[in-house]
Each structure stands twice: as C-alpha cells, then as structure tokens.
Amino acid sequence: MSYEMILVETQGHVGVIRLNRPKALNALNDQLMDELGAALVQFDGDADIGCIVLTGSDKAFAAGADIAAMANYSFMDAYKGDYITRNWEQIRKIRKPVIAAVAGYALGGGCELAMMCDFIIAAENAKFGQPEIKLGTIPGAGGTQRLPRAVSKAKAMDMCLTARMMDAAEAERAGLVSRVVPLEKLFDEAMAAATVISAMSLPTVMMIKESVNRAYELTLSEGVLFERRMFHSTFALEDQKEGMKAFIEKRLPAFRGI
Ligand code: HXC
C-alpha cells in the first residue's frame, strides 16, 4: 500500500512510521489515521518485525486532530459516523510494542496518540497538552482517561482544564515519558530501544505488553493472576529454554521467537 501522510520504512527488525503532514504540524485526519492503522497492522503481521517506532517531525509529533476537518461537524456527523475517532482504536489492537518518539508538540489527539503507544521517549523540546477546552470541546481519544493514570489526577485536571502544556522535563518527572533526550538523539535513542526489544523473544515481548496493559484494566489480584499464567506459559517456549541455558553457559541467547 502506498501512503501520502505517513512515511514507512524498516530498519533491521524495527518498523518505523513517521507522521508526515508537516504543513499542518501532523494534524490527524481520517486519511492519516487510516494510513497509520494500515501500516501498524502490516508491521504487526510481519514476522520480521519485533518492535515499531512511531514518530513525527522535530517540530511536532502531532498538534492534534485536524481542527479544519472537524470544525463544521454536527453531532450526528460525529456520533453516527463515529468520525474523528473511528479508526483510532486500531493502535490499541497492535500486539507488538509501539514506541512513541516525541519531539515538539504532542497536543490533543497527538498527546492521546502518544499515550496509546506502549511508552514515550521525548526530546527536550517536547510539549504535551490537552488544549481541547480552548476549542469548546474535550479530549476524545482517551486524554481524560490515560492522562490521570499517567501523571496523576491533579496534573491531568490542571492540563485538561487550563490547557497548559507540560514540557519534557515535567513529563518525565510526572511519569508520562520514560526518557528525555536531546532532540538530535531522539530517533537514535528510540531505535536503540526498539532494536533491543526486537532482539528479545517475540512471544515474551507480547506477553509482557499484554500483562502490563492488564494493570490498567484489572484489579491487582486479577492482574497478578494473569501475569502468573503468562509466566507459567513461557515454560512452553523454546526461547525460555534457550534464555536460561544461555545464562548458565555464560553466553548471549539466540532467540527464535518460538
Ligand atoms: C489543523 C493545524 C492544527 C490542528 C496546527 N495546524 N495545528 N491544523 N488542526 N490541530 C496548522 C495551522 O493551522 C497552520 O496552518 C500550521 O498548522 C502551523 O500552525 P501554526 O499555528 O501557524 O504554528 P505555531 O504558531 O508554531 O503554533 C503551533 C501550535 C498551534 C501551538 C501547535 O498550531 C496550535 O495551537 N494548534 C492547535 C492545537 C490544538 O488545539 N490541538 C487540539 C485539537 S482538538 P496554516 O495553513 O495556517 O499554515 C483534538 C481533539 C482530539 O485534538 C479528539 C480525539 C480524536
């Protein structure tokens, strides 16, 4: 499939998707989200890919949903057509890890998209925000739900109600991002993390992603039970035999994803 609003490439065992609507600061419209969903599904199904990096430009990861595209929607357009958010859930169905490499603005839907990824590595110039309130609307792709879980209710309320942006340093302190690096190192840092992950046993990578995500959805005892069952099932993997044998033999493991 050829894409107009994203750039897609493979580097080693890492799939790279770059949002590419520079004139609109990567504002997210239906076409872009369709393309993003298709590229993610393709990488998810590609046996050669172990991890995905999603990034934007130096100025913007994404400045939100496309305001011009939705400005004149009626309620029925938005609700019945499920416009704007229709294709956003695709990213949650991806079973391989997706790392967001965020530089510049990650606002509104851009912040929500970054939060849908498995973790965020930020450049020092990153700015996160949920400014929908200034447009007379509210976050619509999980901002009011994922932000409090990531940064606390106090900071999420502050950001959603005042529309203030959070810089990279504050985002790291608050737990929204896992690392902050200089802008010029952002892509390499994300690729290095993705390369490390893609050298691991893919089934264990997928089980960890599933298990950590359960921490959002389940009670602690249910989550711990889920994790334990996943843990038990790793003993059916050849990669578990290889990983533990390699440790004992003081050598690097050669995982085969089985
Ligand atoms: C459409 C956008 C856009 C957006 C920027 N642009 N953000 N177009 N939708 N969300 C366009 C501008 O219109 C402009 O186009 C060009 O990108 C450059 O933007 P400027 O404003 O000139 O750049 P700058 O002065 O550097 O300001 C950057 C900015 C500002 C602070 C990020 O653009 C801004 O506030 N953008 C809107 C942020 C926002 O409110 N996001 C939330 C959207 S609602 P032209 O043609 O004039 O050059 C949302 C709901 C999600 O996301 C719902 C879930 C699906």
Ligand 1 centre distance from Cα of residue 107 (Å): 9
Please list, in sequence order, all residues whose beta carbon lies within 8 angstroms of the beta carbon of residue 103, skipping any fewer than 6 positions away. Answer: 55, 56, 57, 58, 59, 60, 61, 122, 123, 125, 126, 183, 186
Share of the chain above pLDDT 90, in %: 91
The torsion angles phi and psi of 192, rounded to 5 degrees, stand at -65, -45
Cβ atoms of residues 122 and 180 within 8 Å? yes
Cβ atoms of residues 21 and 56 within 8 Å? no
> Is 217 an active-site residue?
no
pLDDT at 88 over 90: no
Q: What is the pLDDT of residue 21?
A: 97
Please list, in sequence order, all residues whose beta carbon lies within 8 angstroms of the beta carbon of residue 154, skipping any fewer than 6 positions away. Answer: none
Q: What is the pLDDT of residue 78?
A: 86
Cβ atoms of residues 198 and 13 within 8 Å? yes
Structure tokens at 187: 């892509």
Structure tokens at 216: 């959002």
pLDDT at 57 over 80: yes
Q: Quick one: how far is CA 136 from the chain centroid? A: 26
Ligand 1 centre distance from Cα of residue 207 (Å): 37
> Is 60 an active-site residue?
no
Please list, in sequence order, all residues whose beta carbon lies within 8 angstroms of the beta carbon of residue 156, skipping any fewer than 6 positions away. Answer: 144, 147, 148, 150
pLDDT class of 155 with cuts at 50, 70, 90: very high
pLDDT at 79 over 90: no
pLDDT class of 257 with cuts at 50, 70, 90: very high
> Is 172 an active-site residue?
no
What is the C-alpha to C-alpha distance for residues 190 and 122, in angstroms, rounded to an integer? 9
Cβ atoms of residues 61 and 126 within 8 Å? yes
Q: What is the pLDDT of residue 157?
A: 98
Ligand 1 pocket check for 212: Cβ under 6 Å = no
Select from 152, 138, 163, 145 the least CA-distant residue to 216: 145
pLDDT at 160 over 90: yes
CA trace torsion 105, 106, 107, 110 (10° rounding): 130
Whether this model's ipTM surpasses 0.95 comes out as yes
pLDDT at 85 over 80: no
Ligand 1 pocket check for 131: Cβ under 6 Å = yes
Across the beta sheet with 60-62, what order do the strands follow?
60-62, 105-107, 127-129, 166-167
Structure tokens at 168: 């990279």
Ligand 1 pocket check for 118: Cβ under 6 Å = no
pLDDT in tens, 26-49: 999 999 999 999 999 999 999 999
> Is 194 an active-site residue?
no
pLDDT class of 208 with cuts at 50, 70, 90: very high
- Written in H, E and C, the secondary structure of 104-141 is CEEECHHHHHHHHCCEEEEECCCEEECHHHHHCCCCCC
Closest atom of ligand 1 relative to the 67 alpha carbon: 9
- DSSP letters, 25-70, are TT-B-HHHHHHHHHHHHHHHT-TT--EEEEE--SSEEE--B-HHHH
pTM beyond 0.90: the answer is yes
Ligand 1 pocket check for 116: Cβ under 6 Å = no
Of the candidates 64, 109, 129, 243, the residue annotated as catalytic is 109
Of the candidates 35, 112, 189, 227, the residue annotated as catalytic is 112
Ligand 1 pocket check for 203: Cβ under 6 Å = no
Q: What is the pLDDT of residue 77?
A: 86
pLDDT at 82 over 90: no
Mean pLDDT across 224-231: 97
Q: What is the pLDDT of residue 171?
A: 98
Q: What is the pLDDT of residue 138?
A: 97
pLDDT class of 189 with cuts at 50, 70, 90: very high
Q: What is the pLDDT of residue 103?
A: 98
